[in-house]
């Protein structure tokens, strides 16, 4: 549940709203606005600043623009599940089915084989949305913490957005790729519970009127 | 098979046939729900039949002890035997033959093991179509690791004549992809020569595909004659063609796909993958209406084919039959809950449903169609509800839902509610609603406003009323579980939480309830299992880690308890409760106490303890002294300091806890008294140690309490007096300085300890020798060195002078242990240590 209505209080353009919408999965997790660059719009509080700073430092080691740049670069180049897909999708369905059962030989890697078997034909973009989506969110948070200016934030978001556009063709496709990235990240606990929050957020973003994905068409020109 | 099992199997088969008939006769469009339910039932029974048959299979072949005809004594003979084994598929893929040959060679060989490596490598260069288990066996049995690290091997690899890098890779890591192929192909249906063509051909094609050379990969696999092509080969060919035909829209590939598929399904008419590819191809190239009819007919023939069902679901979406699609995707998601594509399509179909007009359904269902839609919307927190025509506006259930939606919307978005408003609204809505689904929904929303067990207990009458009305609805069952929990009726609580979990596996708090109730009932395995599931969902919630940690703690598995508590206190930093701080410190303390002396001194545990103490220090201590467990938390911290020789720090903790006890009117210090004394002794503050201990002994004598402990204290006092050294003793002064210096530059000052021991030994200053030795090993115990033999020996000798053999023995033993690595310099001391140990055994 997100406590914010989608109102576009800063009168952003459709393009800007589209760019913000690429951060939606992580913004939804953190109960943040989808229609402003700043996470809670005009609202700020020392505790909020501290929380976000703490998250960026603890989980991402981002303390300034240079760190952000390094992280963006890493996320853009990271292969993760896409790399696995490229390696294993050439196998036949029969081989993948067998591989998914080889827990003795592969341990938790058998989960990856199961994922390749499940998604081989349905993820043209691999799990790149997981990286691109988090990238967008980090850019927003860095702007909030004033590691970068708003102008810089929009430029970076647009850069990131172009990459997204070349790979995906709908919010649903983007969202599925994000979820798969999350599942791969948590592949050692390959259970429905491990990914339930992501499916809930996906559901909100696809169906709810307060979701950016129902307000902003995917087809917006960047 | 037992006759009762046989009967069950027979019943199942009959049921299966019955269901198959029903599936074939059902009208999909009229009874989509029933169709999908029957498919699910069919699947379930098929699985039961398969499981029962698995149980009847003959046990796996025991490891067969094979006997070779003659002794294998040379590498050449072993390779000759390998060649024989390799020639027949039955022996090639039976590990026992390889094991037997190698065992024979190792028992009878006249050559060094290393002499076998290159001949085996040469053998493998022409005979590498083996399973990884054989390579692993070869690697274990012969020194290939040494060969691969040698300069000679590097030279061979550089020349790359016989693909040595590849051979190194398969011996080192096996060949997983080949294993899969061997498992996927019915190898015993082939002659060895044919298989030896098929396997490398497919592997080669894999390499080509990974380099984007799909056309060449296709051509490679297509070299296998159709009558010899295994299923895997057909699947690979068709995958390549599918990608080219559908994703790249290559017309030639489309034609080739059709003909190749024709050949494949002729040979494998029931293969799920082939049928799926075939239908997926048609899905892209044919109208949805045709596809739908065809898929329904295919699924009726092949009810277990999930992928075909998925395609049918997609067809329904294309045809905007969202309800049918939703039913299908929900079932698929239930069968395979880790498949996120299914979950995504559940959402997409639901979105489709919500976008359609209700009017059509309302003709048949009346107002029910509207409140069904409203419920779907409200489940997704969509408060802008569907418009209702005038004739249904007064329907009580519709009114109830509208009242709720209006209120909930205000609460969520405007925050303009008074806290009590929404529950009151829900009560009003419930007073209107009559339909079961609507009432259960409203009750569920109402229960959210009773989040704590105490809240639920206060509302017990209301909860009982709801439960009586709906004894099998999740919200009421879950609420009843909370009531029982609040009343400490853990058995009933557990039963109800388990039922709630079965009714709605998505409510993770039902799982948490199971964990908590089971913990109270000491059903630790159950608590741990439920906690594990809760942790996956709620990584930052204390409860999951507490329940799991406490379960392990109560079972005495302190290391696992500690792992959970460590994370838990970080989650609730800066102020976990006294209890939480206690279990955190106590679990580590108790675990370390269980380790053997050597493990206790390891670098790993040293670091772990330091980290834990740092974390403990960062936690707020307000109120800690007011509770027994809080005080024990501090005491455990002190005890941990002993393991890492941080005596100053330990003393701080001890002084703190002693103050806490005294503030609480507790003067019986128990183990803290002896611990403090020992710490003071280790810090060479002998006078202080003596005074403190003497005062405590006087207290115990005066109060006539804890006489057992009095004896312990008196024994320690005797030890103290025996070892008493004036604080301004020259050795002690020097030792104190050394300890300080070694804290910052340990390596530099290490030899000085040895020198100081030598001086003390020459002067026969036995108490001082004990101190020097013990402080030396506190500092350097985890980094063994040759001079440790000297230090251990003289420390032991000093203890022996005091007739403290229990302290001397480990030091003499240390001399022997280190003597195995450093036999020369202190040869005499090692010999004498051995004599002492023998004489005192």
- Interhelix angle B288-301/B3-25, nearest 10 degrees: 160
Cβ atoms within 10 Å of B143's Cβ, excluding its own: 16
CA torsion angle for B289, B295, B300, B305 (degrees, to 10)? -150
Question: What pLDDT score was predicted for residue B54?
Answer: 63
Optimal mutation site among B271, B347, B415, interface A, most CBs of chain A within 10 A: B347
Domain limits for position A191: 14-215
CA atoms within 13 A on the CB side of B131: 18
Nearest to A90 among B183, B209, B380 (CB): B209
pLDDT given at position B420: 56
Average pLDDT value for residue range B477-492: 96
- How far is residue B611's CA from residue B613's CA, in Å, rounded to a whole number? 5
A180 contacts in chain B (CB < 8 Å): 340
The CA angle B714-B719-B721, to the nearest 5 degrees, is 95
CA proximity to A33, closest of A214, A210, A206: A210
User: Mutate which of B344, B515, B573 to test chain A, going by most A C-beta atoms within 10 A?
Assistant: B344
Put simply, the answer to whether B280 touches A204 (Cβ < 8 Å) is no
Q: pLDDT digit string (tens) for A29-72?
A: 999 999 999 999 998 999 999 999 999 999 999 999 999 999 99
Average pLDDT of the residues of chain B: 89
Tell me whether B507 touches chain A (CB under 8 Å).
Answer: no
Q: What is the average pLDDT across B488-494?
A: 97
B687 pLDDT above the threshold of 80: yes
Q: What angle do CA B78, B79, B83 make, to 5 degrees?
A: 120
Q: Indicate the pLDDT class of residue A131, thresholds 50, 70 and 90.
A: very high
What single string gives the DSSP state of each residue in B105-150? HHHH-SS-GGGGHHHHHHHHHH-----HHHHHHHHHHS-HHHHHTS
Within a domain: A191: yes
- For residue B213, the chain A residue with the least C-alpha distance is A90
Cβ burial, residue B308 (10 Å; 0-12/13-18/19+): buried
Question: Is A145 inside any structural domain?
Answer: yes
Cβ separation of A94 and B273 shorter than 8 Å? yes
A212 and A204 Cβ atoms separated by less than 8 Å? no
Candidate from A176, A190, A203 with C-beta closest to B380: A203
Q: Render B281-316 in DSSP notation, one character per residue.
A: HHHHHS-HHHHHHHHHHHHHH-TT-HHHHHHHHHHH
The CA distance from A93 to the nearest CA of chain B, in Å, is: 6
- Mean pLDDT over residues B731-745, rounded? 85
Whether residue A2 lies inside any domain: the answer is no
Query: Which of B183, B235, B536 faces A98 most closely, judged by CB atoms?
Result: B183
Complex-level ipTM beyond the 0.90 threshold = yes
| Residue A94 to residue B235, Cβ atoms within 8 A | yes
* CB within 8 Å: A203 and B273: no
How many distinct structural domains can be found in chain A? 1
Name every chain A residue with its beta carbon within 8 A of the beta carbon of B533.
191, 193
Q: Cβ of A207 and B239 within 8 Å?
A: no
Q: Which residues of A touch B337 (CB under 8 A)?
A: 192
Q: Each residue of B628-681: pLDDT tens digit?
A: 999 999 999 999 998 887 888 999 999 999 999 988 888 888 899 999 999 998
Q: What is the chain B residue with the closest CA to A5?
A: B413
| A5–B413 CB contact, under 8 Å | yes
Residue A5 in any domain: the answer is no
Determine contact: B270 vs chain A, CB below 8 A.
Answer: no
Asked if the C-beta of B595 comes within 8 angstroms of chain A's C-beta atoms, the answer is: no
Alpha-carbon gap, residue A44 to A40, rounded angstroms: 7
Cβ-based contacts of A1 with chain B (< 8 Å): 381, 412
Q: Is B550 buried (19+), middle (13-18) or exposed (0-12) by CB count in 10 A? A: buried
B556 vs B565: CA distance, rounded Å? 14
CA distances, B607 to each of B611, B617, B731, B739 (Å): 6, 15, 31, 20
In a domain, A190, yes or no: yes
If you measure CA to CA, which chain A residue comes closest to B337?
A: A192
Question: What is the length of chain A?
Answer: 222
H-assigned helices in chain A: 14-21, 24-29, 46-60, 65-77, 80-88, 93-100, 103-106, 109-119, 128-144, 150-167, 171-185, 192-207, 212-215
Give residue ranges of A with CB < 8 Å to any B CB.
1, 3-5, 86-87, 90-95, 98-99, 105-106, 114, 118-119, 121-122, 172, 175-176, 179-180, 183, 189-199, 202-204, 206-209
pLDDT tens digit sequence for B176-223 = 999 999 999 999 899 999 999 999 999 999 999 999 899 999 999 999
Whether A92 maps to a domain, the answer reads yes
Model pLDDT, residue B66: 65
Share of chain B above pLDDT 90, in %: 58
Q: According to the model, what pLDDT value does residue B591 have? A: 95
> Poorest-confidence range of A101-115, B298-312, B688-702?
A101-115
A138 lies in a domain? yes
Within-domain flag for A7: no
B125 reaches A (C-beta below 8 A) = no
Are B127 and B85 a contacting pair, CB within 8 Å? no
């Amino acid at each position: 549940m997100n406590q914010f209505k989608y109102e576009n209080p800063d009168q952003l353009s459709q393009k800007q709203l589209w760019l913000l919408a690429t951060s939606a999965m992580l913004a939804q997790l953190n109960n943040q606005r989808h229609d402003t660059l700043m996470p809670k719009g005009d609202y700020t509080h020392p505790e909020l600043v501290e929380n976000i700073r703490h998250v960026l430092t603890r989980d991402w080691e981002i303390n300034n623009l240079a760190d952000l740049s390094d992280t963006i670069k890493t996320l853009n180049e990271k292969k993760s599940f896409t790399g696995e897909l490229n390696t294993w999708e050439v196998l036949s369905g029969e081989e993948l089915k067998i591989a998914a059962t080889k827990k003795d030989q592969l341990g938790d890697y058998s989960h990856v084989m199961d994922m390749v078997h499940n998604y081989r034909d349905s993820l043209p973009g691999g799990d790149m949305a997981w990286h691109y989506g988090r990238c967008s969110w980090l850019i927003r948070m860095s702007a909030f913490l004033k590691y970068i200016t708003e102008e810089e934030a929009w430029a970076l978001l647009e850069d990131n957005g172009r990459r997204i556009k070349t790979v995906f063709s709908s919010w649903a496709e983007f969202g599925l790729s994000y979820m798969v990235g999350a599942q791969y990240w948590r592949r050692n606990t390959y259970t429905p519970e491990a990914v339930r929050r992501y499916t809930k957020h996906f559901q909100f973003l696809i169906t709810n009127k307060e979701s950016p994905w129902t307000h902003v068409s995917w087809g917006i020109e960047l | 098979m037992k006759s009762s099992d046989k009967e069950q199997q027979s019943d199942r088969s009959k049921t299966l046939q019955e269901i198959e008939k029903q599936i074939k006769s059902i009208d999909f469009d009229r009874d989509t729900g029933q169709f999908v339910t029957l498919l699910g039932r069919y699947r379930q029974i098929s699985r039961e039949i398969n499981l029962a048959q698995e149980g009847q299979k003959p046990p796996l072949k025991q490891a067969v002890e094979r006997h070779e005809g003659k002794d294998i004594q040379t590498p050449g003979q072993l390779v000759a035997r390998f060649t024989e084994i390799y020639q027949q598929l039955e022996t090639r893929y039976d590990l026992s033959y390889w094991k037997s040959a190698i065992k024979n060679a190792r028992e009878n060989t006249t050559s060094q093991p290393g002499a076998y490596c290159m001949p085996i490598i040469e053998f493998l260069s022409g005979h590498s179509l083996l399973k990884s288990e054989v390579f692993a066996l070869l690697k274990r049995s012969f020194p290939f690791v040494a060969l691969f690290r040698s300069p000679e091997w590097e030279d061979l690899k550089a020349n790359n004549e016989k693909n040595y890098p590849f051979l190194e890779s398969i011996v080192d890591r096996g060949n997983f992809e080949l294993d899969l192929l061997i498992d996927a192909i019915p190898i015993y249906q082939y002659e060895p020569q044919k298989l030896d063509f098929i396997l490398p051909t497919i592997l080669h094609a894999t390499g080509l595909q990974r380099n984007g050379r799909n056309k060449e990969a296709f051509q490679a696999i297509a070299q296998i004659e159709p009558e010899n092509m295994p299923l895997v080969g057909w699947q690979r060919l068709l995958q390549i063609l599918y990608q080219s035909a559908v994703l790249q829209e290559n017309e030639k590939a489309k034609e080739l796909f059709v003909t190749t598929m024709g050949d494949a399904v002729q040979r494998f008419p029931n293969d799920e993958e082939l049928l799926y590819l075939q239908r997926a191809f048609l899905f892209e190239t044919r109208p949805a209406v045709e596809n739908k009819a065809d898929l329904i007919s295919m699924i009726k023939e092949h009810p277990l084919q999930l992928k075909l069902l998925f395609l049918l679901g997609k067809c329904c979406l294309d045809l905007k039959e969202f309800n049918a699609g939703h039913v299908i995707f929900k079932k698929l998601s239930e069968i395979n809950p880790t498949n996120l594509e299914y979950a995504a399509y559940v959402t997409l179909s639901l979105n489709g449903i919500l976008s359609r007009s209700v009017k059509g359904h309302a003709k048949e269902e009346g107002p029910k169609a509207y409140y069904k839609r409203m419920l779907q919307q409200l489940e997704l927190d969509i408060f802008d509800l569907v418009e209702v025509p005038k004739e249904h506006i007064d329907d009580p259930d519709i009114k109830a839902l509208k009242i709720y939606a209006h209120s909930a919307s205000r609460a969520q978005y405007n925050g303009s509610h008074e806290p009590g408003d929404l529950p009151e609204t829900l009560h009003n809505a419930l007073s209107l609603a009559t339909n079961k689904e609507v009432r259960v929904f409203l009750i569920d929303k109402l229960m959210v406003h009773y989040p704590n067990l105490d809240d639920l207990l206060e509302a017990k009458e209301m909860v009982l009323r709801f439960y009586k009305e709906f004894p099998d609805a999740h919200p009421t069952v879950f609420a009843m579980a909370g009531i029982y929990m609040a009343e400490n009726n853990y058995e009933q609580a557990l039963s109800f939480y388990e039922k709630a979990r079965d009714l709605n596996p998505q409510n993770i708090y039902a799982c948490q309830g199971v964990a908590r109730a089971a913990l109270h009932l000491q059903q630790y395995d159950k608590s741990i299992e439920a906690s594990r599931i809760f942790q996956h969902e709620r990584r930052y919630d204390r409860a999951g880690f507490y329940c799991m940690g406490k379960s392990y703690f109560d079972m005495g598995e302190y290391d696992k308890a500690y792992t959970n508590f460590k994370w838990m206190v970080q989650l609730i930093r800066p102020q976990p409760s006294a209890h939480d701080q206690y279990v955190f410190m106590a679990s580590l303390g108790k675990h370390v106490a269980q380790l053997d002396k050597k493990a206790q001194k390891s670098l790993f545990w040293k670091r772990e303890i330091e980290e834990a103490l740092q974390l403990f220090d960062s936690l707020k201590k307000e109120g800690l002294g007011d509770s027994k467990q809080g005080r024990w938390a501090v005491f455990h911290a002190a005890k941990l300091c002993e393991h890492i020789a941080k005596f100053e720090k330990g003393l701080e903790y001890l002084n703190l806890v002693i103050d806490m006890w005294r503030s609480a009117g507790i003067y019986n210090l128990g183990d803290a008294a002896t611990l403090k004394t020992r710490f003071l002794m280790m810090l060479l503050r002998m006078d202080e140690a003596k005074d403190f201990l003497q005062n405590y002994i006087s207290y115990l004598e005066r109060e006539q309490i804890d006489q057992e402990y009095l004896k312990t204290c008196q024994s320690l006092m005797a030890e103290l007096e025996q070892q008493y050294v004036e604080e301004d003793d020259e050795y002690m002064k020097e030792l104190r300085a050394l300890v300080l210096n070694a804290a910052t530059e340990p390596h530099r000052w290490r030899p000085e300890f040895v020198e100081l021991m030598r001086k003390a030994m020459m002067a026969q200053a036995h108490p001082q020798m004990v101190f020097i030795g013990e402080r030396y090993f506190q500092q350097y115990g985890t980094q063994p060195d040759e001079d440790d033999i000297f230090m251990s020996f003289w420390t032991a000798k000093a203890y022996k002078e005091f007739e403290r053999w229990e302290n001397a023995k480990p030091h003499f033993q240390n001399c022997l242990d280190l003597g195995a690595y450093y036999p020369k310099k202190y040869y005499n001391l090692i010999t004498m240590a051995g004599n002492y140990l023998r004489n005192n055994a």
